[in-house]
Amino acid sequence: MDRSEIESFTLMQLPASTRNIQTYTETGIDRLLLLRFSADIEEVPSFILQSRFEKTLQEDYRPFVTDFGTNLSWWAIDEAKHVLGTEDQKEGRSRQILVDITNPQVAIVYVVIIEM
pLDDT tens for each residue of the chain, 116 residues long: 899 999 999 999 999 999 999 999 999 899 999 999 999 999 999 999 999 998 899 999 998 877 778 889 999 998 999 999 999 999 999 999 999 999 999 999 999 999 98
Contact by Cβ (8 Å): 83, 61: yes
Q: Which domain holds residue 51?
A: 3-115
Contact 30, 114 (CB under 8 A): yes
Maximum CA extent, the chain: 39
Domain count, the chain: 1
Q: What is the DSSP letter of 44?
A: H
